[in-house]
Structure 1
Amino acid sequence: MTNSALQQLVEMRGIETHYFDAWGKPETISESSQIKLLNALGYDTSSDSVIENRLHQEASKIWQSPLNPVQVVRQSDALPFLIRLPIELVTDTYTVVLSTEDGQSFNHTFTPVDENLINVAQLQDVEYHEYGVIMPQPVPLGYHQLTLYVEDDDEPLATMRLIVAPQACYTPKSIAEGQKLWGLSVQLYCLRSHTNWGIGDFTDLIQLAKKAGELGADFIGLNPIHALYPANPEVCSPYGPSSRRWLNFLYLDVTAMPCFDHESVQKLVTTTSFQQRIQAARDAEFVDYTEVAALKKEALGVLFDVYYAKYLTKKTKQNKAFKAFVQAGGESLNMLAVYDTMQEFLSQNGQPAWGWPVFPDGFGEYHSDDVAAFAKEHKKRVTFYLFLQWQAALQLEAASLAAKDAGMALGLYRDLAVGVSEGSAEIWGNKDLYCVNASVGAPPDVLGPLGQNWGLPPMDPIKLYEQAYQPIIDLFSSNMAGGGALRIDHVMGLLRLWWVPKDADAKEGGYVYYPVDDLLGILALESHRQQSLVIGEDLGTVPEEIRAKLAENGIYSYRVFFFEQAPDGGFFSPAHYPVQSMSTLTTHDMPTLTGFWHCLDLELGKELGLYPTDAILQRLYGERHRDKQAILDSLHAHHSISDNISRDVNYTGMTTELNHGMQLHMARGSSALLSLQLEDWLQMDKPVNVPGTFNEYPNWRRKLSQPLEAIFENQDITALATNLTASRKRASTD
């Protein structure tokens, strides 16, 4: 195989051959990995002739398309677009009609040969020209359509989606004016309360927002609350969802739903056995997803029957509102409800049901006659799952309003996962978009020395482009709903993602590039429409180009104290963090403050077999010891802790004073946003997630050590919150 043909295909598909790792060292993607990535993208690389033929096909497809499927431009006085034509047609007269989303129409007539020639190509015996054309009038922000006509011809030659975006994402007025805000980040399922059914729910979120707001918090940051698998509740990672557009029904507070007080529902839930099951689930140290799902589905089934008969079979305002929600949700919502119904049906009948790859023939793809027939036959159960999504959206909206009513400047902020799991409804409904023979992950870095494979098939960037970016528009829009900010997990994915071919080790993957400028433009447009600030989780192997782009586009960086180290090993003062950032001490993928300080994460990692050799573990212990000493040095130098705390790490354990001192040290920093974890308020030691593990550790299950009702009665905690608020106010005026 000639290297040139292969490398042309590699370059055309945006596969990076060289990169710098998390430690700044140059790395090369092997040719075998490059070939595997091309295979995952659907390319046959068996011979030179096959590759060359495919290159020709790809080039012909582009040059024979007069307009691109979509073009993203930033708002300005003039609008550029590209047109491609055979040379014999470039002297004809053409008209483009720009139809804006608000009903306006603009025409522009031109002759291509009089415009700016951009590129020329020869395909077989035909020469093609590409021209840049300028629409002379300003165009409003939004999603528009550009239609190309040949003079005197009523049939359009081509159409294109035109997306006009602002220069940068939305920034709330309070932050633009220099206010420094703090808030809490929480895995919603971790919340304990005296009223929930064994998992944190939207009513708990309302109470948390109210209590935190009273203490001066300006936001509550949530883990991804995406839809998971009602029929397979043990698949519980919020970062491996079934659909990122919709919500996890387990967060519904059944007791707050309409018709809960109906006698048939009460007959079920007030029985001694049902109440005992609820109490057992509530008291459990870890979330028992199977039992919680069983409890809620049982009660919700009875409740839905009542609601269905009372409202959804008649002309009622409730039915009108429900139908409006379903219509607005479109195919994506219906697809999820059909998927959930089908997975449940197959599971109950003892058939393989973990995901669409094992569904029976005819059920493996949403757009099939067999699936349509199934949905019709099980219409009421499909309606049940549509109803759950509607009620979840209403309860989330109520929580968002409660946060705003509590005086929070941002309110809730949501978290968008980087992908969906292989057997997900999202892939089932759009299989052309996803490359199921690869997975998103990460090369070896600080959090994962062996690299990481997250089991999330990536989107094909070309297919995303050909679908006019609609899937990414839907994701941004839906996840900004019900909140004042959006955190994008692994935001580097807008530029590039580490693809791991199926059956390969994580370290054998490679980076595939995405149309970052287009995606950032769409993000900026949706940010303004939803009045949502955007935070990008930019940890790990981060090229400088993406950090610069994020900053230019108004996206807030994510700064974790433990990673903000100078070359000499010292820790940067939070006063030197970028203003355009959200800072934090630790994250859901890291140990708690107590766990970090006492090296419990290293001890746990040894038990779980995460370190290939004892030498690696001993090196990590040595680095941790040095880091802790450097942290103490920094805290004392900035007078963030008193002399009650020893300056020698050998004599300093984690205490309440040190814990609070570290949090207040961050509060005096320059970041516009400061996020703190409830686990650290409670001085917990167990992590919620251990990267690189699956069954070895109960990830995404560990609850908080105290119920909500007790947290905000703790005088140490309320005093900490008062001091945090004061420190943030002082930082706002510095």
Structure 2
Amino acid sequence: MTSSPAPAADTTTPSPELRQLADSLGVATEFWDYTGHHRIVSAATIRAVLGALGVPAGDEGQVRAALADVELAPWRAVLPPSVVVREGRTHELAVHVPDGAGVAVVVELETGGTLELEQRDAWVPPREVDGVLVGRATFVLPADLPVGWHELEARVDGGRARRSPLAVTPDRLPDPGVATSRGWGLMAQLYSVRSARSWGIGDLSDLAELTSFSGDLGADFLLINPLHAAEPSGRMTPSPYLPVTRRFVNPIYIRPEEVREAAYLTGPQRALVEWAAEEVRGTNATNQPIDRDAAWSAKRQALEVIFSAGRSRSRQRALDRFRAEEGQGLEDFALWCALHEKYASTGWPQELQDIRSPFVARARRELAERVDFYVWLQWVADEQLAHAQQVAVESGMGLGVMHDLAVGVHPGGADSWIDRDAFAQGIGVGAPPDMYNQQGQNWSQPPWRPDALARTAYAPLREMARTVLRHAGAVRVDHILGLFRLWWIPDGMGAGEGTYVRYDHEAMVGVLLLEAARAGAAVIGEDLGTVEPWVRDYLEERGVLGTSVLWFEKDAAGQPLQPDAYRRLVLATVDTHDLPPVAGYLAEEHVDLRERLGLLTEPVEHVRAEARTERQRMVDRLREHGLVGENPTERELVEALHAYVVRTPAVLVGVSLTDAVGERRAQNQPGTDTEYPNWKLPLADGAEQVVMVEDLPGSARLLSLVAALRAALGDDDRLA
């Protein structure tokens, strides 16, 4: 994610009609910036955003016509495109039919059976719509509708029946299922945690070992970076937060030897697999940046050998079942992978840009064998993920694997090709200027269109959530505010020239909770930064945990927040992957790095003085609570900071594996691309010596931190 330079701002003030149109479509025309100043969004930005929503607004005539269309849109459809409601509450449903026509509405329940809805006496004046007088009938969705995906059917006199999806979502998720009233867990960048048998990058077999180890320590969860798929050929994007799809898994995380068919390879086939492993296995113990391209090249060679060896009848049947369950979405993703593999070096022909074209249909037939291979990779990854979660549960973890869900996808990726109509074209998602990135940020990710989501009954969100949660006890949603609003930046404009676009958060959160409830999983929302209080209240009401990071939790005077002032329904941690681990942060690594990379917007002396003040205030707070004495060591400070977080009421507490082993380097430096090895650093200790999976059980520093954490939790439980 890189900062975008801001060109001269367009000061054109939007007209009242343009503002009205934008407001009616959820496009913000004003906002408060991080300095507390009120900002008016330029007319140019508003017009560009409306255009990306399919609403022409180039002149005032188009604006007036669009306003009329927006007003009449609900009256032009018998039923809304989709309906999302909460369980346990009655809801009104507006149905539009020719004036005077009779209509009946039934719900076809997901579990079978039907329920006829009661019509409420609520007269609304009819309206003329496209030359036809249209009336509105109001029906009642009862409070006892079961949670699930149902179907509405409106039967209109003299006309064909109209149908619309109906989702009844949980009113609230239960608190996370941990052994006691509170739980703790480890947090790791899976790619960075390697074992002697890894292929140059941490993988799903390493994940199983990590969950087993974590469970033995008494942890309830293991939060890992997003495992979303990246490019299958050519250069692989290092950032797990810029995937080609958020639904499917990056096969780079597969351990080839753990594929069941690998055990039955012939001698020559097994040799090919071992030779491929030898190409990259020697890098496991080095502290050089992780080379994803080399690791994937070696793994792909081995996996192709295993795939070609075939499967037994029962194994093929299991693969066929998986393929049928994942449906067209998996087929289309596998086709995109095959096409990317074929055209990565030359560029895609224009006729293959549209998935609906006959040229794509022909390519699907021609590349059928490669499509089969990429489908098989997802099945294998799914099996290894299932094993890791099974190991986690068997080791006693309350939640097990906690997946991370990125905020968006690569603009040239699979999702934006498969579901092109679901994404706003000519728009990048980012963030407005803030105190850490004063030019704003453009993450170069296309946003979902709110109207397209409603038209498809939130299928992109639903399918993604279902797949990610298949083998998980929890999911962390990066930038969960994206379910409420996103900062849209029109192409060619600076990051500071964007505006917010609102989403139907009741529907978006509801659909996510419905899939989480079905999976028995908890949901944690990354709600850092400037967040309106009502949003946090709303998420808490729905049972979605927030996020608290110790370094960011301060009172109005800039002092560290007292433990009892923290929220309860949060995952509380000391730091994040965008900051150096505690050891590095205390040593001002974040200041040194930003100075070295030219990212500071203020004199380094001033920034360093602020960092030292922050550190001293934190040490003073720790001393106030009796957690450190005079002149504490680095290890004592790390343990005291985690003990401080335990003193908060947070229901979940996270410990970064980098903190546990003494690492000092940040995994990611926002505002950079190639200037820093983002998302490539292997796990190492304070002396930059690689720490492998096999080393963790004997790590004195890790065991000491865990002991301090568990002692603090025990003290806290006794106090309670």
Q: TM-score when scaled to structure 1?
A: 0.91
| Change over 3 Å in CA distance of 1:360–1:592 after alignment to 2 | same
CA distance in 1, matches of 2:141, 2:383: 43
Does 2:343 align with 1:346?
Answer: yes
CA distance in 2, matches of 1:470, 1:709: 42
Of 380-389 and 116-125, deviating more is 116-125
Does 2:179 align with 1:170?
Answer: no
- Which of 210, 221, 224 matches 1:222? 224
Does 2:412 align with 1:423?
Answer: yes
- Which of 138, 141, 164 matches 2:144? 138
1:323-338 to structure 2, matched below 5 A, reads 323-338=320-335
2:122 counterpart residue number: 116
2:628 counterpart residue number: 641
Say which SS state the counterpart of residue 155 (structure 2) adopts: strand
1:303 counterpart residue number: 306
Say which SS state the counterpart of residue 559 (structure 2) adopts: coil
1:5 counterpart residue number: 17
1:285 counterpart residue number: 288
| Change over 3 Å in CA distance of 1:149–1:724 after alignment to 2 | same
2:115 counterpart residue number: 106
CA distance in 2, matches of 1:569, 1:118: 54
Does 2:83 align with 1:81?
Answer: no
CA distance in 2, matches of 1:208, 1:194: 14
1:198 counterpart residue number: 200
- Which of 56, 65, 70 matches 1:53? 65
2:5 counterpart residue number: none
- Which of 544, 560, 568 matches 1:555? 544
- Which of 697, 708, 711 matches 2:693? 708
1:492 counterpart residue number: 481
2:600 counterpart residue number: 611
- Report the CA distance between 1:232 and its aligned residue: 3.1
After superposition, give the CA deviation of every residue in 1:203-223 in whole Å (9 maximum; x if it has no partner).
111111111211111110011
Alignment RMSD (CA, Å): 2.1
Note if contact 1:220-1:412 (Cα within 8 Å) is conserved in structure 2: yes
Displacement over 6 Å in runs of 4+:
none
Of 139-148 and 127-136, deviating more is 127-136
1:624 counterpart residue number: 611
- Which of 147, 155, 160 matches 2:153? 147
CA distance in 1, matches of 2:123, 2:588: 62
- Which of 327, 348, 355 matches 1:366? 355
After superposition, give the CA deviation of every residue in 1:657-695 in whole Å (9 maximum; x if it has no partner).
111221222123210001111111122121111111111
After superposition, give the CA deviation of every residue in 1:123-150 in whole Å (9 maximum; x if it has no partner).
4665544443214573211111111112
Say which SS state the counterpart of residue 227 (structure 1) adopts: coil
Give unmatched runs, 5+ long, in structure 1: 353-358, 646-653
- Report the CA distance between 1:235 and its aligned residue: 1.1
After superposition, give the CA deviation of every residue in 1:468-504 in whole Å (9 maximum; x if it has no partner).
1111111222222211111111001111101111121
- Which of 65, 75, 78 matches 2:77? 65
CA distance in 2, matches of 1:20, 1:281: 48
1:495-644 to structure 2, matched below 5 A, reads 495-612=484-601, 614-615=602-603, 617-644=604-631
| Change over 3 Å in CA distance of 1:180–1:388 after alignment to 2 | same
CA distance in 1, matches of 2:146, 2:650: 33
CA distance in 2, matches of 1:279, 1:136: 63
2:651 counterpart residue number: 672
Note if contact 1:337-1:382 (Cα within 8 Å) is conserved in structure 2: yes
Does 2:239 align with 1:237?
Answer: yes
Note if contact 2:439-2:496 (Cα within 8 Å) is conserved in structure 1: yes
CA distance in 1, matches of 2:93, 2:711: 52
Q: Which amino acid aligns with 2:106?
A: V
Q: Which amino acid aligns with 2:629?
A: S
- Which of 417, 427, 434 matches 1:445? 434
Say which SS state the counterpart of residue 283 (structure 2) adopts: helix
Note if contact 1:184-1:677 (Cα within 8 Å) is conserved in structure 2: yes
- Which of 461, 465, 470 matches 1:472? 461
Say which SS state the counterpart of residue 674 (structure 1) adopts: strand
User: How many residue pairs are counted as aligned between the two chains?
Assistant: 699
Note if contact 1:66-1:84 (Cα within 8 Å) is conserved in structure 2: yes
- Which of 683, 686, 702 matches 1:717? 702
After superposition, give the CA deviation of every residue in 1:133-183 in whole Å (9 maximum; x if it has no partner).
2145732111111111124x5831x222111112112324447xx622111
CA distance in 2, matches of 1:364, 1:535: 36
Does 2:341 align with 1:322?
Answer: no
| Change over 3 Å in CA distance of 1:5–1:208 after alignment to 2 | same
Say which SS state the counterpart of residue 719 (structure 1) adopts: helix
Note if contact 2:169-2:510 (Cα within 8 Å) is conserved in structure 1: yes
Note if contact 2:285-2:692 (Cα within 8 Å) is conserved in structure 1: no
Note if contact 2:28-2:41 (Cα within 8 Å) is conserved in structure 1: yes
CA distance in 2, matches of 1:19, 1:440: 17
After superposition, give the CA deviation of every residue in 1:279-309 in whole Å (9 maximum; x if it has no partner).
13653521101110110011111111112xx
Note if contact 1:118-1:132 (Cα within 8 Å) is conserved in structure 2: no
CA distance in 2, matches of 1:351, 1:661: 55
- Report the CA distance between 1:545 and its aligned residue: 2.1
| Change over 3 Å in CA distance of 1:544–1:128 after alignment to 2 | farther
1:355 counterpart residue number: none
After superposition, give the CA deviation of every residue in 1:577-614 in whole Å (9 maximum; x if it has no partner).
111111001111122212211221122112222224x4
CA distance in 2, matches of 1:20, 1:58: 27
Q: Which amino acid aligns with 2:506?
A: D
CA distance in 2, matches of 1:283, 1:303: 28
Q: Which amino acid aligns with 1:334?
A: E
After superposition, give the CA deviation of every residue in 1:626-645 in whole Å (9 maximum; x if it has no partner).
21111011100011112342
Say which SS state the counterpart of residue 389 (structure 1) adopts: helix
After superposition, give the CA deviation of every residue in 1:426-463 in whole Å (9 maximum; x if it has no partner).
11111111013111111122442221111110001011
Q: Which amino acid aligns with 1:26?
A: H
Q: Which amino acid aligns with 2:290?
A: V
2:190 counterpart residue number: 188
Q: Which amino acid aligns with 2:711?
A: A
Note if contact 1:278-1:295 (Cα within 8 Å) is conserved in structure 2: no
- Report the CA distance between 1:724 and its aligned residue: 1.3
CA distance in 2, matches of 1:731, 1:233: 49
Note if contact 1:264-1:302 (Cα within 8 Å) is conserved in structure 2: no
| Change over 3 Å in CA distance of 1:669–1:2 after alignment to 2 | closer
2:670 counterpart residue number: 691
After superposition, give the CA deviation of every residue in 1:189-239 in whole Å (9 maximum; x if it has no partner).
011211101000011111111112111111100111111111134312111
Say which SS state the counterpart of residue 27 (structure 2) adopts: coil
- Report the CA distance between 1:243 and its aligned residue: 1.1
2:31 counterpart residue number: 19
Say which SS state the counterpart of residue 262 (structure 2) adopts: coil
CA distance in 2, matches of 1:595, 1:423: 36
| Change over 3 Å in CA distance of 1:127–1:408 after alignment to 2 | same
CA distance in 1, matches of 2:41, 2:124: 32
Note if contact 1:668-1:730 (Cα within 8 Å) is conserved in structure 2: no
Identity of aligned residues (%): 30
CA distance in 2, matches of 1:118, 1:611: 60
Q: Which amino acid aligns with 2:108?
A: S
CA distance in 2, matches of 1:732, 1:514: 40
| Change over 3 Å in CA distance of 1:161–1:213 after alignment to 2 | same
| Change over 3 Å in CA distance of 1:426–1:28 after alignment to 2 | same
